[in-house]
Amino acid sequence: MSAILEVSDISKSFGGIQAVNGASFTLDHPGIYGLIGPNGAGKTTMFDIICGRQVPDAGKVLFHSSRVDGVEPYKLSRQGLARTFQECRVLPEETCLDNVLFAAQSKRMTSEMLQVFTRNTKHRRDAEVEARRLLRLINLEQYADQPASDLSYGQRRLLEIVSCFMSKPRILLLDEPASGINPTLLNTLRDFLVELYEETKIVFLIVEHNMEFIMSLASTIIVMHQGRVLMQGAPEQVQADESVIDAYLG
């Protein structure tokens, strides 16, 4: 069986700075994967390359055996790759419900044009039921009809993540989901991610600095250091590895 996501010998430099230097890893089965490393390790660049925001100088990214490096983000999204951003991003003027529904809507212009007259169709009503269920899971159902800009930062972060699930992704990439979230909401987020993983059984790839959060959540940890993959293994193995302790965990 082919890997779900395969990253091979990726290199990327910005001017004289080598952000990623021949990094490779494989996500070959569904699971929650953590991508960790010190600042400047190349995690965000790697993340951007996988999501199509950056084109690698060398190497390739295969998603279900299809080469996707350099593919535009909207095309990747349509292939089933959903992502969140390091700085939380929602549509501030839309209600929470519309934010979630927007992720479910087909963005192909031809189908959008055909649906010009079909705003309140059965499809939208079905999607709304699912959207409200997801909002309930993160305790945001009572804010469903309020603009997303009214939410706190942590709530917006949860809304951003929950929106990703509406597009029924095949792989979900979360960029520092725990940053800026208070401990109570963090527990909600952890429970929510575990619940949705059990339900969807897809790949979650999470870039995270909160070690307690990621080690308790992920089944596999990938450690990056100086643009390379230092190690890939179970959280216990990673936490016990001398080279990882030296480079990152201290």
| Chain positions contacting another protein, by CB under 8 A | 51, 53, 72-74, 77-78, 82-83, 85, 89-95, 98, 102-103, 105-107, 109, 111-113, 115-117, 119, 145, 163, 167
Min CB(216)–another protein separation in Å: 27
Q: Nearest 5 degrees, angle CA 86-CA 129-CA 170?
A: 45
DSSP 145: T
Give 76's Cβ-side CA count (13 Å radius).
Answer: 24
Q: Which is nearer to another protein, 109 or 129 (by Cβ)?
A: 109
Question: How far is the C-alpha of 98 from the C-alpha of 148, rounded, in Å?
Answer: 9
Tokens of 248: 């990152």
Q: Which is nearer to another protein, 35 or 100 (by Cβ)?
A: 100
Q: Which is nearer to another protein, 64 or 124 (by Cβ)?
A: 124
DSSP H helical ranges for the chain: 43-51, 73-78, 96-104, 109-114, 122-137, 153-166, 183-200, 211-217, 235-240, 242-244
**DSSP secondary structure string for all residues of 179-202:** TT--HHHHHHHHHHHHHHHHHH--
Q: How many CB atoms lie within 10 A of CB 60?
A: 15
Q: Which is nearer to another protein, 166 or 247 (by Cβ)?
A: 166
Min CB(108)–another protein separation in Å: 8
Min CB(207)–another protein separation in Å: 15
Min CB(25)–another protein separation in Å: 22
Question: How far is the C-alpha of 96 from the C-alpha of 102, rounded, in Å?
Answer: 10
Q: Which is nearer to another protein, 117 or 183 (by Cβ)?
A: 117
Min CB(107)–another protein separation in Å: 4
Min CB(148)–another protein separation in Å: 10
Min CB(10)–another protein separation in Å: 20
Beta bridge pairs of residue 81: 171
Q: Which of 160, 157, 156 is nearest to 148 (CA)?
A: 156
Q: Which is nearer to another protein, 53 or 64 (by Cβ)?
A: 53
Question: How far is the C-alpha of 27 from the C-alpha of 4, rounded, in Å?
Answer: 6
